[in-house]
Amino acid sequence: MRTPFIAGNWKMNMSHMEAIRFVEDLSYELSSKKNNCEICICPPFTALRSVKNIIDTDKLEFTLGAQNMHWEEAGAFTGEISPLMLTSLKVDYVIIGHSERREYFAETNETVNKKVEAAFKHGLKPIICIGESLQIRETGKAEDFVLGQLIECLNGIAAKNTMDITVAYEPIWAIGTGKTATSADAEEMCSAIRDKISHLYNPQIAGMVRIQYGGSVKPHNIGELMSMPDIDGALVGGASLKVKDFAAIINF
């Protein structure tokens, strides 16, 4: 059984004080129900320590994720964050290769692959983002493109590490646009991703890897998405910034 995995990607939002209040409010909102999924909060770097302190002090059943990292441990990389910096804050997960990083900051499958290797070296669990643009989808080559991304991002990654990988399928045309892939479309791609992992490694590993859907996930569509056999969770953007919406998604 794969434990459902809901991660909130706050992107460039919330100060550390706002983050503290949000996590406290979310905990209160969820307190009346038993959550049967793993919950991960991915705040900006400036709020990581504050969120971790709240999680530990209040003994919350949340995990902590970073939104990015460099593959080097240290060096002349102005503005970057190293895996050692994240592990010193007891970060659990790191989002790697988000479409906004690819589009705005020139990240490639090669750099994603380096970051995945570095994450495992330092005990971090990567959430690897892959997905196609509307232009690619309209050519009918979306599956080939997405699976090509997957292959390059996992290049050289040992089988023993893959069980700690989360793959986030995020159709770029559905991120922040209000558009959402139909549950059938999302399931078709997530199923293809799982099948490719099975061929790259083995069926047992493919059965353990969690695959999230990301792309305008809202309270009204999470239930249908999560009913699909190969969708194990969601990488939530805008809705993760609203306590009641994020709580409703967690309580799908």
In a domain, 85, yes or no: yes
Burial of 53 (0-12, 13-18, 19+ CB in 10 A): middle
Active site residues: 98, 170
In a domain, 189, yes or no: yes
- Partners of 66 in the β-ladder: 94
- Closest listed residue to residue 5, CA positions, set 147, 115, 165: 165
CATH (domain of 159): 3.20.20.70
In a domain, 151, yes or no: yes
User: pTM for this one?
Assistant: 0.96
Q: In the numeric block, which tokens belong to residue 49?
A: 């320590």
In a domain, 9, yes or no: no
- Closest listed residue to residue 71, CA positions, set 24, 22, 121: 121
In a domain, 214, yes or no: yes
In a domain, 174, yes or no: yes
**d(Cα 12, Cα 45) in Å, to the nearest integer?**
9
Per-residue pLDDT tens digits of the chain, which is 252 residues long: 799 999 999 999 999 999 999 999 999 999 877 778 999 999 999 999 999 999 999 999 999 999 999 999 999 999 999 999 999 999 999 999 999 999 999 999 999 999 999 999 999 999 999 999 988 988 999 999 999 999 999 999 999 999 899 999 999 887 767 776 799 999 999 999 999 999 999 999 999 999 999 988 999 999 999 999 999 999 999 999 999 999 999 999
Structural domain for 160, as ranges: 69-250
The sign of the torsion formed by the CA atoms of 223, 227, 228, 232 equals positive
Total domains, the chain = 1
In a domain, 102, yes or no: yes
In b/e form, how buried is each residue of 151-167, taking b as 16+ CB within 10 angstroms?
eebbeebeeebbebbbb
In a domain, 59, yes or no: no
**d(Cα 113, Cα 128) in Å, to the nearest integer?**
9
